[in-house]
A and B are shown apart, each in its own frame.
Chain A
Amino acid sequence: MIRKTLALAAAAIGMTAIAEPVLAQQNEQFIPLLVYRSGAYAVNGVPYANGVVDYYNLVNERDGGVNGVKLTFEECETAYATDKGVECYERLKGKGPTGAAYVNPLSTGITFALTEKTLADKIPIITMGYGRADSKNGSVFTWNFPLLGTYWSAADIAIQHVAREMGGADKLKGKKISLVYHDSPYGKEPIPALQVLAQKHGFEFTPVPVTHPGVEQKSQWLAIRQNRPDYVLLWGWGVMNGTAIREAAAVAYPRDKMLGVWWSGAEPDVTPAGAESVGYKALMLQHGAQRTPVHADIEKHVYAKGKGITEKDKIGEVLYNRGVVNAMLGVEAIRTAQSKFGKKPLTGEQVRWGYENLNLSAERLKELGFEGMLRPIKITCADHEGARDGRVQQWDGKAWKIISDWYTANQETTEPLVKDVSAKYAAEKKITPRDCAKES
């Protein structure tokens, strides 16, 4: 009897899981959200996902959607696992009247897997501040958009800052710089650029891998204590960041000689280590922890109506802001695409055109309420990155303080690498690069 009821219940569950709720899917643009609100990386995944959702809700509540086309979205939990990410992508890619507008994997590993799939499905894959660095080359990577900065740009900016602290690029000669990195495609991505930079400036570069998820770093930091590098770059994510700072403190490595990438520079990365993280520095993907008019709008139109999904005091945190910026760029790409294809739900292929022709001037950014968070960004076929600016911030125990001017990544160092690696990819995949001169 119990078995029978159990079987019936299982059957019922199966039926409901497959049955799609029939919705009035007329004037709606669907956006899949691959998130991780659980697992080892949740501390960073949650604020980011909150920012994304809040911004889409803002666009729906304040403007009634993008030119009247309402944004709909659905979250799917990937837990940062590649196979789960692929499943989520397959689950969500066909939803809505026109399918997914674009996809945001929020994991370099999932990005690599989806790069193979979005090509066939004609869905743009947005990797803002992460992803594969060679995908900047839009003539080969038609569907990938590593907006605002790749890891190779980040590596260049980091070395620029280290050079400035040391008193000039010529002072880098003979210095020792270590990279403590998450041993995954994410952490390995900057290594080729850093090797090129090491050769150019004559510093000694040592990569120090940390195994996923990064809670075990004793031996790595002991090696650093022996090697005594002049600077440590940190390419960590989730629990790995806080652990790295604590281990640095344990071997008495000065925190102000540590520079994290923009994924290692948020509040959850420094607060667990408490006073030990004072002095720790990190790159900024342009914006920091700050509030601009868009945050006031989010409070007014989303939180005042009780539709916010986080606590009010979390609004304006680093990763929350990154989610907001990411969502805004997506919305503006849809808007750009609508100017060509009409004010209706668009397919992924049409939204891709919108991304490739995305051009946000300083005035437009001010209008959107992002003044002071972002610099103008212009995407072209040849440059899917759009902007490669960054600053450096330092944790003072309570807040992130911006301690540098704007840096712009030097393309001379990374461009030959981008050409090389993307050409190799094109040859391997038998892709004929588009002629960007002919794209409009």
Chain B
Amino acid sequence: MLYREAGQFKTTYSADMAIFPIRQDRVALILLLLFAFIGVPVMATFHIWPLGSDYMLRAILIPFLILALAAIGVNILVGYCGQISLGSGAFMAIGAYSAYKFSTGVHLPLAWLGTALAIPPLPVLPSILLGGLMAAVVGILFGIPSLRIKGLYLAVATLAAQFFFDWVFIRVKWFTNYAPSGSVSAPELNFFGLTVNTSIERYLLCLIFVTLFAFVAKNLVRGNLGRQWMAIRDMDIAAELMGIRPFYAKLTAFAVSSFMVGVAGALWAFVYLGAWEPLAFDINRSFQLLFMVIIGGLGSILGSFLGAAFILILPIMLDQVPHAIGVPISVETVSHLVFIVTGALICYLLIVEPHGFAKLWSIGKEKLRLWPYPY
């Protein structure tokens, strides 16, 4: 009923190929964006429930947005191109540490050339983007094995990236500017003379990044490149016979994916944590991102958001339930319960809908479009 498309005639090819061909989708998206960009800050400013507290913005929405961005990146690689990766945490770390290095100035003595590579401290925005770029370069490097190996074997190869970079950022003191504890802290978040400090500003900053990259991703996956990725995912030999170069398709997937994950890593470090050590990007982060993509829906941008919400927010909410309803159980019982409940819910969801939340949504949407006689 809501989704009745009667009367929406497409008279040009471009209208037919639009990013959101259904008018209801466009309206919903505009409303959502308006709410995210204007509604949330207004509610936060005037302390309107449920977004009135600093906590909702700083501890829920900001990490949600950043992890959703990382999940989009992982989804491009795993969901669209079918290359299983367990190295996402490492790519986040590369983004974070590269951005840190660029923002504090790079000085690399090249003794054998008798010179030194010196880059003065860059502003935050180019630092973050260069962080993403470095992650993309490394992503391409670690993507090369994907030309020969597939599936679980590739997962093991990317796992090597994870452990290698964990090791690099702990051991190579150059990356942490020789900080005695190995913990580094983010520079002041300064964008074109504006200092981003309050939770609303930080939220908007993340929102801008996520919106931009989500649109980029959405457009990429429905274009030439995205179709190449999906062809490779569905059957790489058939794709190759149709003239798709696996070398190009796979490595672009690695590059785009790592770039987004790297930017997310830089944001996670700069905006959410503020100070971090390599443990913030350990193997658990890679698993977390992979689970987000699987639960949210492989091969869906929307699914990345839904998965991030589920994996990040559900445990936090569950953690607060017993206290909020006044059940006196200790925090360790709660934290164990959270593991049990989250785990059980994941199992249940994957049995009921193996294709994740995104599939649930698309089924629902199909039914609405055929209302009142869905089949």
User: Do A and B form a real pair?
Assistant: yes
Task: Assess whether B24 is interfacial by the CB under 8 Å rule.
Answer: no
CB distance B170 to A209 under 8 Å? Answer: yes
Which listed residue, A16, A75, A209, touches B325 by the CB 8 Å rule? A16
Nearest CB on B from A411, distance (A): 18
CB distance B324 to A83 under 8 Å? Answer: no
Q: How far is it, in angstroms, between the C-alpha of A116 and the C-alpha of B58 when the chains are bound? A: 14
CB distance A115 to B326 under 8 Å? Answer: no
CB distance B186 to A116 under 8 Å? Answer: yes
Which residues of chain A from 104 to 121 have any CB-CB distance to chain B below 8 Å in the complex?
108-109, 112-113, 115-117, 120
Q: How far is it, in angstroms, between the C-alpha of A180 and the C-alpha of B170 when the chains are bound? A: 15
Contacts of A94 in B (CB 8 A): 53-55
CB distance A86 to B185 under 8 Å? Answer: no
Stretch at the interface among B4-12, B224-232, B235-243, B273-281: B273-281
Q: How far is it, in angstroms, between the C-alpha of A83 and the C-alpha of B276 when the chains are bound? A: 9
Q: A90-B59, A113-B274, A188-B181 are in contact. Are A83 and B280 (CB under 8 A)?
A: yes
Q: How far is it, in angstroms, between the C-alpha of A210 and the C-alpha of B50 when the chains are bound? A: 44
Which residues of chain A from 58 to 89 have any CB-CB distance to chain B below 8 Å in the complex?
74-77, 79, 81-83, 86-87
Which residues of chain A from 146 to 191 have any CB-CB distance to chain B below 8 Å in the complex?
183-186, 188-189, 191
Contacts of B180 in A (CB 8 A): 188-189, 191-192, 421
Q: How far is it, in angstroms, between the C-alpha of A93 and the C-alpha of B57 when the chains are bound? A: 14
Closest to A33 in B: B331
CB distance B49 to A189 under 8 Å? Answer: no
Nearest CB on A from B193, distance (A): 15
Task: Assess whether A212 is interfacial by the CB under 8 Å rule.
Answer: yes
Task: Assess whether A387 is interfacial by the CB under 8 Å rule.
Answer: no
Q: How far is it, in angstroms, between the C-alpha of A16 and the C-alpha of B330 when the chains are bound? A: 18
Closest to A430 in B: B188
CB distance A112 to B185 under 8 Å? Answer: yes
Stretch at the interface among A17-25, A325-333, A360-368: A17-25
**Chain B proximity mask over A192-213: 1 for CB below 8 Å, otherwise 0:** 1000000000000000010010
Contacts of B185 in A (CB 8 A): 112, 115-116, 428-429
CB distance A17 to B335 under 8 Å? Answer: no
Q: A91-B59, A188-B181 are in contact. Are A82 and B323 (CB under 8 A)?
A: no
Task: Assess whether A100 is interfacial by the CB under 8 Å rule.
Answer: no
Q: How far is it, in angstroms, between the C-alpha of A401 and the C-alpha of B135 when the chains are bound? A: 53
Task: Assess whether A42 is interfacial by the CB under 8 Å rule.
Answer: yes
CB distance A212 to B182 under 8 Å? Answer: no
CB distance B332 to A77 under 8 Å? Answer: yes
Contacts of B170 in A (CB 8 A): 183, 209
SS of A interface (majority): helix
| Chain A residues with a Cβ closer than 8 Å to the other chain, count | 51
Which listed residue, A77, A90, A189, touches B54 by the CB 8 Å rule? A90
CB distance B182 to A35 under 8 Å? Answer: no
Nearest CB on A from B252, distance (A): 31
Contacts of A339 in B (CB 8 A): none
CB distance A185 to B181 under 8 Å? Answer: yes
Q: How far is it, in angstroms, between the C-alpha of A35 and the C-alpha of B53 when the chains are bound? A: 23
Task: Assess whether A416 is interfacial by the CB under 8 Å rule.
Answer: no
Q: How far is it, in angstroms, between the C-alpha of A361 and the C-alpha of B151 when the chains are bound? A: 67
Contacts of B282 in A (CB 8 A): 212
Contacts of A250 in B (CB 8 A): none
Task: Assess whether B219 is interfacial by the CB under 8 Å rule.
Answer: no
Chain A to chain B contacts (Cβ below 8 Å), 14 pairs: A17-B318, A17-B320, A18-B50, A38-B332, A77-B319, A82-B277, A83-B272, A91-B55, A115-B275, A116-B186, A117-B274, A183-B170, A184-B277, A309-B330
The 4 closest A-B pairs by CB, nearest first: A37-B332, A116-B274, A90-B59, A185-B181
Chain B interface (Cβ within 8 Å of chain A)?
A: 49-50, 53-55, 58-59, 63, 104, 170, 180-183, 185-188, 197, 272-277, 279-280, 282, 316-321, 323-326, 330-332, 334-336
- Add 11 more A-B contacts to A91-B320, A185-B277, A428-B185 (CB < 8 A): A18-B324, A74-B323, A75-B331, A82-B280, A83-B63, A86-B59, A94-B54, A112-B185, A113-B274, A186-B181, A309-B330
